[in-house]
Amino acid sequence: MPLTYWLGVDTGGTFTDFVLLGDGEPRIHKVLSTPAAPEQAILQGIRELGLAAAMSAGQLSIVHGTTVATNAALENKGARTVFVTNSGIEDILRIGRQNRPELYNLTPAPHKSALTDLPCEGAPCRLDAAGDEIQSLSDEALAELVLRVKAHGAESVAVCLLFAYLNGHQERRIADALTREGLEVSTSHNIIPTRGEYERGMATWLNAWLSPRVAAYLQRLEQATDPAPLAIMQSHGGTIAAQQARQLAVNLLLSGPAGGLAAAQRLGEQLDQRQLMTFDMGGTSTDVALLDGEIRLTQQGRIGPYPVAVPMVDMHTIGAGGGSLAYVDEAGLLHVGPQSAGADPGPACYGRGGQQVTVTDANVVLGRLQPDFALGGSLELDVHAAEQAMGILGQQLGMDAQAAAEGVLALANEHMTQALRVISIQKGHDPQDFALMSFGGAGGLHVCALADNLGMHRAIVPQRAGVLSAEGLVYAPRKRELLKALPDGLDGDACRNEIQALQQQGQRELAAEGVASDQIRYQVYLDMCYRGQSSVLQIPWQDNPGEREQAFHRAHEQRFGHRLGLPVQQVNLRVQCLAEQHPPATPAQPLTQGQALRSTRLPGVDEDVSIYQREDLGNGQCLWGPALIAEAVGTTWLAPGWKAQVDSRGHLLLEKDKHR
């Protein structure tokens, strides 16, 4: 039976967002998240959208961005895992790169993590730097190793041997023996076949540590949504079938935020605005990223204290969201975040018993969230509770509630501005060359202030910005991001053979999801560095070796401000296999001119503020700040000195107006 509906589901810390395509105008919905069992909120939303029958008939395609892996990592709630490596280097994950969070502290307090008591076992075997075996693993030693691993009561095992990315034979022998004993096993040559034993070991351990929790969740969700096809967003911006995602938890650590970047890239192409800085402000955190035509990937990401070397979107995250708590410390200084009020009880204005002030409460006190602006379309605001909580904070600071609210917003905006500086100015980019794209439930309230702080003159608030990450999930391609470490001195023909082998691997994996070979397109990149360096830059593949080197020199100069007279080394081959998705198109915006619902005066604003309903605005309509533009899943504060024009798809194109 052909698909009728396409549903994107993004689980956040406060809300679970839904975007439904295939029913004329896109339908949006929000429910409060259920962190203990995220599938409950998803099933509630499906019922409330009236999709239960379509799901049972297999007419509903679901694409999901999940935080299960991320939350398990941050809360140290992974499975009981044993780490297996070569004898003599069992402490490699604990030693790491010997980086210290407090460089000049001679007696730092120990930081306990899941690695502190990690059981490790050594295998008496070894490969050399070319991948050739110099010490084999005997049957007796393998049997003894299996017994030692089982003695730890392991639920899962991570296997990472030196130079296994060049030859996975020894890892496969160990994995086969452990699998026969009923253990789940992750091997480094499958998870991330590239150099760097510490980063490769961390990625393998993270996968083994998190996969049992992710697999249990996805299995529950699959059973509840069967027979509807279920795909999961991966950290690199492409989707994978849920059944295949169960054992690849390390690839899901940025599952939700990656959906927003997929939507931003698509929207940038539609608007012919390829240079974007994205700003995704939700209830718990804010994610920022930079797009220069393509989604940038990194292998130097982090989740909490753990480095994550698998390809993931290059994103910077801070603990500043609509639900971030504001408080006064013992010295009388105001702080905002990183602690959050969460979904329950939430901000004071939710009327669910929250007593502490949040960024959302500050927007309520300053009138930027009006009493009739129901959050998520259904959650009514309790203005009195917000004012009461803000008044208590103001007393602690020696000021009234309005001044305290302005201080909370100013501090929150500065935190987010600094995050945007990290991904732009600190990486050699001028923010004025980019447009600031705002999304997330709280983003539109802060977009003008952040653009002003950075000297930016253009901003975009997409249609359905409050649920853009959920919408981006539906449009994200089916994707595989495949890596292959390259030995020194590999010639062009050998490289091309490796490219072909990776393309065939990606084709086989996508075929298992029902993707035809003629629907797949391929993108090929090289990770390159100067000889002797460890960090790499990603360069598009070119047949001519000289052109590849020159492209690397230019990229290095743009990123670091200089180039070196050193030989250039090819480190990894990277092949992306993508199959674009084609959900139903959304209708164009009507040619209407929506009128303001009313005008009001807001604290701290000298002019009358016009209030518009976003659904009433038409193609080509222009608005001038100060104005509030309300919709079911977010509100945009158009600050004085800014104007907004509605494009044919309903997106708000903001410009700094120099004439008003």
Check which CATH number belongs to the domain holding 163 and give it: 3.40.50
Angle separating helix axes 401-423 and 447-454, nearest 10 degrees:
60
Which of 222, 161, 212 is CA-nearest to residue 185? 212
CA–CA separation, 416 and 170 (whole Å):
47
Q: What is the DSSP letter of 345?
A: T
CA–CA separation, 325 and 153 (whole Å):
40
User: In a 10 Å sphere around its CB, with 0-12 CB exposed, 13-18 middle and 19+ buried, how is residue 487 labelled?
Assistant: exposed
Q: How far is CA 173 from CA 90, 141, 179, 195, in A?
A: 19, 12, 10, 21
For the stretch 510-553, pLDDT in tens is 999 889 999 999 999 999 999 988 788 889 998 888 899 999 99
| pLDDT for the residue numbered 543 | 87
| pLDDT for the residue numbered 19 | 92
Angle separating helix axes 255-270 and 468-475, nearest 10 degrees:
80
Which of 148, 72, 156, 86 is CA-nearest to residue 114? 72
Q: 603 Cβ partners below 8 Å, 6+ apart?
A: 365, 366, 367, 402, 405
Q: Are 44 and 58 members of one domain?
A: yes
Q: Are 516 and 488 members of one domain?
A: yes
For the stretch 107-142, pLDDT in tens is 888 778 888 889 999 999 999 988 899 999 999 999
- The number of folded domains in the chain is 4
Q: 396 Cβ partners below 8 Å, 6+ apart?
A: 328, 332
- Evaluate whether 364 touches 395 at the Cβ level (below 8 Å): no
* String of DSSP letters for 531-589: TT----EEEE--S-HHHHHHHHHHHHHHHHS---SS-EEEEEEEEEEEE---PPPPPPP
Domain that holds residue 650: 598-656
Q: Which of 164, 187, 214 is the last residue of a domain?
A: 214
- Asked whether residue 506 is assigned to any structural domain, the reply reads yes
- Asked whether residue 162 is assigned to any structural domain, the reply reads yes
Q: Are 484 and 563 members of one domain?
A: yes
Q: Which of 548, 579, 610 is the last residue of a domain?
A: 579
Q: Are 69 and 90 members of one domain?
A: no
- Asked whether residue 405 is assigned to any structural domain, the reply reads no
Q: Are 188 and 242 members of one domain?
A: no
- Asked whether residue 452 is assigned to any structural domain, the reply reads no
| Cis check: omega of the bond before 345, within 30 degrees of 0 | yes
- Asked whether residue 485 is assigned to any structural domain, the reply reads yes
Taking 50 as the pLDDT cut, the residues of the chain under it are 1
Q: Which of 155, 189, 214 is the last residue of a domain?
A: 214
Task: Tell me the two tokens of residue 659.
Answer: 């004439």
| Cis check: omega of the bond before 338, within 30 degrees of 0 | yes
pTM of the entire predicted model: 0.85
| pLDDT for the residue numbered 293 | 79
- Asked whether residue 613 is assigned to any structural domain, the reply reads yes
| pLDDT for the residue numbered 558 | 83
Residue with tokens 């047949």: 543
Q: Are 209 and 98 members of one domain?
A: yes
Q: Are 567 and 643 members of one domain?
A: no
Q: Both ends of the chain: CA-CA distance in Å? A: 56
Q: Are 133 and 242 members of one domain?
A: no
| pLDDT for the residue numbered 377 | 52
What's the CATH number where 13 sits?
3.30.420.40
| pLDDT for the residue numbered 353 | 79
What's the CATH number where 559 sits?
3.30.1490
- Evaluate whether 558 touches 546 at the Cβ level (below 8 Å): no
Q: Are 83 and 202 members of one domain?
A: yes
Q: What is the DSSP letter of 183?
A: -
- Asked whether residue 134 is assigned to any structural domain, the reply reads yes
| pLDDT for the residue numbered 375 | 61
| pLDDT for the residue numbered 441 | 81
Alpha-helical regions (H) of 378-467: 383-397, 401-423, 447-454
φ and ψ at residue 617, rounded to 5 degrees:
-75, 145
| Cis check: omega of the bond before 545, within 30 degrees of 0 | no
Q: Are 82 and 209 members of one domain?
A: yes
- Evaluate whether 337 touches 283 at the Cβ level (below 8 Å): no
- Asked whether residue 367 is assigned to any structural domain, the reply reads no
| pLDDT for the residue numbered 343 | 63
Q: 291: helix, coil or strand?
A: strand
Q: Are 242 and 133 members of one domain?
A: no
Q: Are 173 and 135 members of one domain?
A: yes
